[in-house]
Structure 1
Amino acid sequence: MSESLSETPGLPLSRSCPFDPPDGYKRLREEEPVSRVRFADGNEGWLLTKFDDVRTFLLDTRFSSNRNRAARTRHTHEKPKLPAGAMVSMDPPEHTRYRRLLAGQFTVRRVRQLEPRIVEYVNGQLDEMEAAGPGVDLVETFALPVPSLVICDLLGVPTRDRHDFQKWAQTVLNVDLPLDEVHRAKEKLFDFITALVHEKAEHPQDDIISGLLHAPPEEQLTREEIIGISVLLLIAGHESTSNMLSIGAYALLRHPRELAKLKADPSLIDNAVEELLRYLSIVHLEFIRTATEEIEFAGHLIKPGETVKGSMVSANRDPDRYPEPDVLDLNRKDVHHLTFGHGIHQCIAQQLARVELRVSFSLLFSRFPTLRPAIAPEDVRFKDDSVAYGVKELPVAWDVRKP
């Protein structure tokens, strides 16, 4: 067993290329794939950077997902109390109960039934883009509205309120804002969902919140649990997908040869989505776990209570797993990645996200074949300050067809 005796570094954060992971990960994968790291709150722990190590780690039940135990990766302030129903921070058997209740809401059959409505939402936003004309912000007019409309549909949230919860969610997920500003946004978001849950308790409809409220007695959750789950689904259901839509579109525009492949062969879209998910790995601060006992892992001794971060962005660029991992290749074979996680905490709505991305990219580039960025690469601002990496805005232009 070994342990690094050098001065403990912090997490790699600096990117020389906006589409690539922070630069330090490449060296760590090569020289010290299981390394000591100092987190933002001063606690020391471990960082995993190889694909196989991260995948093994995510399957190991000796590592707890309870975030109250873990060090802070970016914030230095005290951890906020997690709401009831925060299943992302639970371990079995508690997690198993929530997972089972929600799994039926995101079945392949239900997602397939929803696809025509997703097509309708995407075409509606593309109509608005076309009406507004070249120069629109792709984030504001397309990437944000589409997932928001879909999750509103599933949860039964009035679409008139989507701009409010988009703003609150972005604030809650911003890791660099003052704590009081984050708390105010979180309170507004919870107040909004609380009122919605109480309304659906009295007037149920065909949506996930109503389904949870009126579940069979043996599967009943408390109102507080349903509120917590609904907030989680609302944030996760639109924020990560909207960032993936915007930065995914930008990555394709900056790789014209790959985009040309997709335009020439639309059947490539499923593989293209998987490759973009691997290449961009937008949830760049995951995965965080805590050792519940002494664990020997890849020749290193991890002590009880120590925080371990498995780096998704690094694992998805591991050259031992992917030939030429830093190349965006829409024809890549076996694109299996860790973007949706692995094991019991694998993203429950991953099939929904895939359908949204497939429909959105397909229709966007077929409707606007001459789409291009309207600003220089150096003027594009990236979301380093958010849990989900992406672009803050993306003005785009296209050739207008003459009548």
Structure 2
Amino acid sequence: MTTSQDAQPLQLDRSFFDDPAALYRGLRVERPVVRAIGPSGLQFWMITRYADARAALNDARMIKDADRIPGSFTRDGEAPQARVVTESLVRHMLNADPPDHTRLRKLVGKAFTMRAIARLRPRIEEIATELADGMDAAGPTVDLLDHFAFPLPMTVICEILGVPQDRRDEFRTWSNTLLSGGPDHERAGAARAMSTFFAELIDDKSAHPGEDMLSDIVRAAEDGDSLSRSETMAMAFLLLVAGHETTVNLIGNGMLALLRNPEQRSRLHSDPDLVPNAVEEFLRYDGPVNLATIRFTTEPVEFSGTTIPAGQFVLVSLIGANRDPERYADADRLDIERDASGHLAFGYGIHHCLGAPLARLEGEIAFRTLLARFPAMALDDEPGPHRESTLIHGLTRLPVRL
């Protein structure tokens, strides 16, 4: 048993963001539990094997609530997200432990059941068709992210929440900045802008409630359902950011994988019934989330013979786990007919992504639409680079020729 406390931490650089699977390939064999330093300067332990990752994601000895973490993320001069994101944006269920997590998740859980999401199919298909029409008109070359992958899920989540769509482009800028490894002052500015935006939005929903989820959340808070104003703002922030980020990168990463694997694309085009299974493989092969959100050890925990001491930050590699050959044979190969069940792209345990049914439906509709409308689509230039984020794994651009 080792702690590797004295080993030099691994510095995550540009190559890691563009191709994390390459780093994980070696780490799973040689250093499956390793100390690392992110672009913001945060030092943490990183877990890369599937079995360890699945266990860690459901381990009650690792907490999420920043209020229970000594120093509230600022110990040893580190500068992680909680120091630059205002308090009003971080008190959401993804940063909560039971019983608060249970209470917060219950408030919105009914809106994200498979049955509730299935009712959205006609509207999502309509949006996808309109976006494909726009691509046709803008062609013959477009950035697939700008013209399709971003506006599809953003339009859907804005309609679900009741958010004015004329704010979506600036929201995208804030989201990209906040989830990046950029300078603290830039991320702090984005956080302040988001806080102001959500405060104004919640005040408007309180004064003029509608038939949307955010109005329902505000009503729950006003009815004394143990939801504070900061929790209301944080819930809106989480649902809007998580409600589009995952799907944007599922579509972008998945289409890039298909464009680079023409035989798989041809197979999918010839049999569209394979699309739902292909979506699961895209999630496994090059998922939209790199390292899961932060956890903190309350006592020593052991994985693959390495003990992580108490009082340490831990990030679980979802991409590393999903490419583990111990779990998936020939894991570095895209195979749209593979049984990809059990992948960790949406996490595992009590923090499993609440919006997974919505992301899956949007992904299915997106790929069906794009394959049917643009069977000859090809890369027009080198994509990327990837966003410099330990959390989000996605491209900054995906130029295609229709």
TM over 0.5: yes
1:11 and 1:282, CA in 2 relative to 1: closer, same or farther beyond 3 A?
farther
Which amino acid letter does the alignment assign opposite residue 214 of structure 1?
A: R
1:321 aligns to 2:327 (yes or no): yes
Residue in structure 2 matched with residue 129 of structure 1 by the alignment: 135
1:250 and 1:40, CA in 2 relative to 1: closer, same or farther beyond 3 A?
closer
Q: Does 324-333 or 225-234 show the bigger shift?
A: 225-234
Report if aligned partners of 2:175, 2:241 keep a CA contact under 8 Å in 1. yes
Residue in structure 2 matched with residue 381 of structure 1 by the alignment: 385
Residue in structure 1 matched with residue 212 of structure 2 by the alignment: 207
Write the distance in 2 (CA, Å) between the matches of 1:363 and 1:45.
Answer: 41
Residue 20 of structure 2 aligns to a residue in which SS?
coil
Residue in structure 2 matched with residue 35 of structure 1 by the alignment: 34
Which amino acid letter does the alignment assign opposite residue 212 of structure 2?
A: D
Tell me by how many angstroms 1:102 deviates.
Answer: 1.5
1:167 and 1:215, CA in 2 relative to 1: closer, same or farther beyond 3 A?
same
1:100-249 → structure 2 map (5 Å cutoff)? 100-176=106-182, 178-215=183-220, 217=223, 219-249=225-255
Tell me by how many angstroms 1:39 deviates.
Answer: 5.6
1:39 and 1:129, CA in 2 relative to 1: closer, same or farther beyond 3 A?
closer
Spell out, residue by residue over 1:60-93, the C-alpha distance to the aligned partner (whole angstroms, 9 max, x if none): 1011113563869xx9536235326322111111
Write the distance in 2 (CA, Å) between the matches of 1:293 and 1:259.
Answer: 47
Which amino acid letter does the alignment assign opposite residue 117 of structure 1?
A: R
Residue in structure 1 matched with residue 266 of structure 2 by the alignment: 260
TM-score for the superposition, normalised by structure 1: 0.90
Tell me by how many angstroms 1:383 deviates.
Answer: 1.8
Write the distance in 2 (CA, Å) between the matches of 1:5 and 1:59.
Answer: 24
Question: What is the aligned-residue RMSD (CA, Å)?
Answer: 2.4
Residue in structure 2 matched with residue 8 of structure 1 by the alignment: 8
Which amino acid letter does the alignment assign opposite residue 159 of structure 1?
A: Q
Residue in structure 2 matched with residue 289 of structure 1 by the alignment: 295
Which amino acid letter does the alignment assign opposite residue 101 of structure 2?
A: H
Write the distance in 2 (CA, Å) between the matches of 1:253 and 1:298.
Answer: 37
Tell me by how many angstroms 1:341 deviates.
Answer: 0.4
Residue in structure 2 matched with residue 59 of structure 1 by the alignment: 58
1:326 and 1:131, CA in 2 relative to 1: closer, same or farther beyond 3 A?
same
Residue 136 of structure 1 aligns to a residue in which SS?
strand
Spell out, residue by residue over 1:205-225, the C-alpha distance to the aligned partner (whole angstroms, 9 max, x if none): 111111112238463523332
Tell me by how many angstroms 1:12 deviates.
Answer: 4.7
Aligned partner of 1:358 among 356, 359, 364: 364
Report if aligned partners of 1:10, 1:40 keep a CA contact under 8 Å in 2. no
Report if aligned partners of 2:17, 2:386 keep a CA contact under 8 Å in 1. no
Identity %: 38
1:144 and 1:100, CA in 2 relative to 1: closer, same or farther beyond 3 A?
same
Which amino acid letter does the alignment assign opposite residue 241 of structure 1?
A: T
Aligned partner of 1:305 among 293, 307, 311: 311
Number of aligned pairs? 392
Write the distance in 2 (CA, Å) between the matches of 1:57 and 1:386.
Answer: 18
Report if aligned partners of 1:12, 1:24 keep a CA contact under 8 Å in 2. no
Q: Which has the higher helix share?
A: 2
Report if aligned partners of 1:214, 1:220 keep a CA contact under 8 Å in 2. no
Tell me by how many angstroms 1:11 deviates.
Answer: 4.9
Tell me by how many angstroms 1:194 deviates.
Answer: 1.3
1:367 aligns to 2:373 (yes or no): yes
Write the distance in 2 (CA, Å) between the matches of 1:17 and 1:42.
Answer: 15
Which amino acid letter does the alignment assign opposite residue 343 of structure 1?
A: G
Write the distance in 1 (CA, Å) between the matches of 2:44 and 2:384.
Answer: 34
1:114 and 1:396, CA in 2 relative to 1: closer, same or farther beyond 3 A?
same
Tell me by how many angstroms 1:355 deviates.
Answer: 0.4
Residue 259 of structure 1 aligns to a residue in which SS?
helix
Write the distance in 2 (CA, Å) between the matches of 1:328 and 1:53.
Answer: 23
Write the distance in 2 (CA, Å) between the matches of 1:71 and 1:244.
Answer: 30
1:385 and 1:94, CA in 2 relative to 1: closer, same or farther beyond 3 A?
closer
Write the distance in 2 (CA, Å) between the matches of 1:386 and 1:38.
Answer: 10
